[in-house]
Amino acid sequence: DHNKLALPVGTTLDRFIMRKQEDFPYATGELSQLLRDIALATKIVNREINRSGLIDIAGAYGNRNVQGEEQQKLDVIANIRFIRALRNGGEVCTIISEEDEEMIQTGNVQGKYVVAIDPLDGSSNIDVNVSIGTIFSIYRRVSPTGNEGNEQDCLQTGTHQVAAGYVIYGSSTMMVYTTGNGVNGFTYEPSLGEFFLSHPQITTPKTGAIYSLNEGNSNEFSEAMTAYVDHCKQQGYSARYIGSLVADFHRNLLKGGIYIYPATKKAPNGKLRLMYECNALAFIVEQAGGKSSDGRTRTMELEPKGMHERCPLFIGSTELVEKAEEFMAREY
């Protein structure tokens, strides 16, 4: 059965998506098209990001774009690019975006899919030339086609994701995604404008020696959380925190480790968003053999109540997440 053979390193993303579709004999190709739409938008956003350092220089000469508008911020540009690609692609009826309070109707009422996206995460890192990312989840709509998508379509639990991925705009640009059959990573070759398979079938180490959280908030931690951080230090783990979720997650996925954005006294649900940050990474980490929870409940089983809802995030190597959950379960 040739379809089940692993595809070689160097396979282009387009070819990879096409070949994977052949694994599902009744697939219509719509999900494949949707993934290609996202990849296309990613290339455009990548180009904008790479030029971002020059925008201020251009600005200093009073440059405006052709419409005479001031240059927009990159997270706004990324949002526009992804929405446009998903609208033009036609497979998506409704989008939830970190950048928009309300759901976005694409007008494609026949579209079978719903996308939740953080178009540019970690945007406070742009101005200082540090890695940033895009995060996305794809769901099949539950309401019948022919109408706009509704809240029920947008507020499914993470277990219903049909695909999820992220893009890291780092020293290289990479796209990592899953359709529920393992995780694959593709590295962008800018001179060719193509993503190539570079990290086939990613598995995350069962354990690791990196812990990633914002310890500046430690006065706001619960006793259980403080005890777990002490445990990490006693174990001699390295602290690594970029402050850019995708970059911190990506490093830990490859090297083994745990990323935590805990509940704090000021922010009892933490900071990160369930629908377009946590669920996607949870799907990926589980597909790579790792774990994700809010400290108690599996992330993908959390019942979403709102599109922009927050939840604590404990994600990474299975042994480390389980140990952290043990601490969180203790009474203090």
What residues line the site for ligand AHM (CB under 6 A)? 98, 121-123, 214, 243-245, 271
The option from Mg ion, ligand AHM, none interacting with 182 (CB < 5 to 8 A, set by class) reads none
CB of 1 to ligand AHM, least distance (A): 40
Determine whether the annotation assigns residue 98 to a binding site: yes
Nearer to ligand AHM, 19 or 73 (CB): 73
SS3 of 158, please?
helix
Determine whether the annotation assigns residue 320 to a binding site: no
The option from Mg ion, ligand AHM, none interacting with 97 (CB < 5 to 8 A, set by class) reads none
Which residue in 255, 251, 231 sits closest to 241, CA to CA? 251
Q: Which residue is nearest to Mg ion (CB)?
A: 121
Nearer to ligand AHM, 159 or 269 (CB): 269
Q: Residue 18 to residues 23, 39, 56, 301: CA-CA distances in angstroms? A: 9, 13, 40, 30
CB of 51 to ligand AHM, least distance (A): 20
CB of 66 to ligand AHM, least distance (A): 29
CB of 210 to ligand AHM, least distance (A): 14
CB of 26 to ligand AHM, least distance (A): 37
Determine whether the annotation assigns residue 241 to a binding site: yes
Determine whether the annotation assigns residue 214 to a binding site: yes
- Cα–Cα dist 204/321, whole Å: 13
Q: Report residue 137: phi and psi, to 5°.
A: -125, 145
SS3 of 177, please?
strand
Nearer to Mg ion, 138 or 245 (CB): 245
The residues, ordered by sequence, that sit 6+ positions from 120 with a Cβ below 8 Å of its Cβ are 45, 74, 75, 78, 79, 126, 132, 133, 134
Nearer to ligand AHM, 111 or 262 (CB): 262
The residues, ordered by sequence, that sit 6+ positions from 282 with a Cβ below 8 Å of its Cβ are 158, 292, 298, 299, 300, 315
CB of 277 to Mg ion, least distance (A): 6
The answer to whether 130 and 248 have CB atoms below 8 angstroms apart is no
Q: Residue 179 to residues 22, 44, 159, 232, 252: CA-CA distances in angstroms? A: 13, 23, 12, 33, 21
Nearer to ligand AHM, 98 or 286 (CB): 98
Determine whether the annotation assigns residue 146 to a binding site: no
| The two structure tokens encoding residue 52 | 């971002």
Nearer to ligand AHM, 31 or 245 (CB): 245
Q: Report residue 108: phi and psi, to 5°.
A: -85, 80
The option from Mg ion, ligand AHM, none interacting with 214 (CB < 5 to 8 A, set by class) reads ligand AHM
CB of 122 to ligand AHM, least distance (A): 4
What dihedral do alpha carbons 194, 197, 199, 200 form, nearest 10°?
A: 160
Number of residues lying near Mg ion (CB under 5 A): 2
The option from Mg ion, ligand AHM, none interacting with 317 (CB < 5 to 8 A, set by class) reads none
Name the DSSP class of 120: E
Of residues 103-142, which lie at the interface with Mg ion (CB under 5 A)? 118, 121
Name the DSSP class of 298: B
Nearer to ligand AHM, 134 or 318 (CB): 134
Determine whether the annotation assigns residue 151 to a binding site: no
Determine whether the annotation assigns residue 121 to a binding site: yes
Q: For tokens 């925190």, name the residue.
A: 241
Annotated binding site for Mg(2+): 98, 118, 120-121, 277
Residues that bind Mg ion (CB under 5 A): 118, 121
Q: Which residues fall in the annotated binding site?
A: 98, 118, 120-124, 214, 241, 271, 277
